[in-house]
Amino acid sequence: MAVYIGSKAKPARLTQPGDNFEVVIIGGGPAGLTAGLYAARAGLSTLLLEKTFTGGQAATANHVENYPGFDNGVGGPELAMAMERQAAKAGLVVRASGVSRMELKGDVKRITLEGGMVITAKAVILAMGARPRKTGVRGEAEFSGRGVSWCATCDGFAMKGKNAAVIGGGNTAAEDALYLSGICEHVTIVHRRAELRADRSLVRRLLENPKISILWDHVVKAFEGEEKLRAIEVENVTNHERTRLPVGGVFIAIGEDPDTSLAKDEVKMNREGYVLADEDTRTNLAGVYAAGDLREKPLRQIVTAAADGAVAATAAMQDLRFKAPEHDNEAARGVSVHSVNA
Ligand code: NAP
């Protein structure tokens, strides 16, 4: 189990079951890392748990052009690593571990790690983000990792010189297609409508790129091949005609679902599983905050995730340092803990 320790961390704290932190952050994307930076700088004993790699979905973006401060854009992995280094310098402890259970009600929050160790915290910042959505069609699971991927930056190189397809019409699909056009022979975007959801600047670049074509009004119906993916079957949504598109790789970019199932019995969420929290990131439970893509909000970007992280850590710090212990606010979203207890 990898453990990364920031300059001011106390390593002994990590190895003991029953450890108690002031703040535990679950999820190491931009929201979690920024929360960690702010919490550590505020002098709170803080642990960040990340089950895979830090940086979240931002770390899989080839090139990020709309994060402020980088006039030529910045690579997703590069940005993620810089965020982690900065937080570690401030004293954040990052532990590579999944969480199998959360008990978030009451003053003492219990977090059970995969493997069974239990740690406790006074405050928990939920920053688990979202997972890429699946198509659910025939062959998707079978060819996953054998031609079907959800990460162009991770798996695009294996498609060198081949024809590839990207499913979806949002920013992720557009960025994936542009990235793959530098590697693949040709890239076909398969989109279910006749208009892309992606930002205009990206759309313009897609349309100008001779190595990218767009198959409008089509959905994927099957992934086919033998050992590896060889083709996809697509269907015209208007006349239901089906066509076979030979491709060596397919990159699925049809959105994401919040990774919130572990908290669903205690924390209020909307129908899609996004956590309901106010602008101050406080949830229905005292001492529990929601930051980043898992929160119901109008704009999910790296910059808004980072902003949430900063707000969540600051709210946690205020609640821990300046307020008496509180009861959970089961009432609902829209009522801040402040006003309930005022
Ligand atoms: P998204 O914006 O939700 O777009 C998903 C796309 O997939 C949409 O075009 C949607 O079609 C299509 N789709 C959804 N379900 C489908 C299905 N079952 N079959 C076929 N097509 C389906 O997702 P995203 O592109 O992953 O972006 C997620 C969030 O991250 C967004 O807020 C986005 O702005 C942000 N993001 C930002 C950047 C950036 O700014 N640099 C980069 C990547 C992502 P419809 O259009 O018809 O709904």
What is the three-class DSSP state of 291? coil
Regarding the beta carbon of 300 and ligand 1, being less than 6 Å apart is answered yes
Query: For each of the chain's 342 residues, which pLDDT tens digit applies?
Result: 333 333 333 333 454 666 789 999 999 999 999 999 999 999 999 999 999 999 998 998 888 889 999 999 999 999 999 999 999 999 999 999 999 999 999 999 999 999 999 999 999 999 999 999 999 999 999 999 999 999 998 889 999 999 999 999 999 999 999 999 999 999 999 999 999 999 999 999 999 999 999 999 999 999 999 999 999 999 999 999 999 999 999 999 999 999 999 999 999 999 999 999 999 999 999 999 999 999 999 899 999 999 999 999 999 999 999 875 555 555 434 433 332 222
Whole-number Å distance, alpha carbon 298 to ligand 1 midpoint, is 13
Regarding the beta carbon of 319 and ligand 1, being less than 6 Å apart is answered no
Q: Which residue has the tokens 């940086």?
A: 55
CB-neighbour burial class of residue 60 (10 A; exposed 0-12, middle 13-18, buried 19+): buried
Mutate to test the pocket of ligand 1, among 178, 197, 214, 234 (most ligand atoms within 8 A of CB): 197
What is the three-class DSSP state of 268? coil
d(CA 44, CA 144): 42
Nearest residue to 284 via CA among 338, 339, 335: 335
Other beta carbons less than 10 A from residue 246's beta carbon = 13
Nearest residue to 108 via CA among 334, 255, 320: 320
Q: Which residue has the tokens 């961390």?
A: 9
Regarding the beta carbon of 109 and ligand 1, being less than 6 Å apart is answered no
d(CA 247, CA 169): 18
Nearest residue to 19 via CA among 108, 99, 104, 121: 121
Q: Whose CA is nearest to atom 36 of ligand 1?
A: 171
Torsion of CA 130, 236, 200, 291, to 10 degrees: -10
Whole-number Å distance, alpha carbon 295 to ligand 1 midpoint, is 17
Q: Whose CA is nearest to atom 34 of ligand 1?
A: 171
Q: Are 139 and 222 in contact (CB under 8 A)?
A: yes
Give the position, in ligand 1's atom list, of the atom nearest the Cα of 174: 25
**Count of all residues that appear for the chain in the document:** 342
Q: Are 77 and 122 in contact (CB under 8 A)?
A: no
Whole-number Å distance, alpha carbon 132 to ligand 1 midpoint, is 10
> Which residues participate in catalysis according to the annotation?
151, 154-155
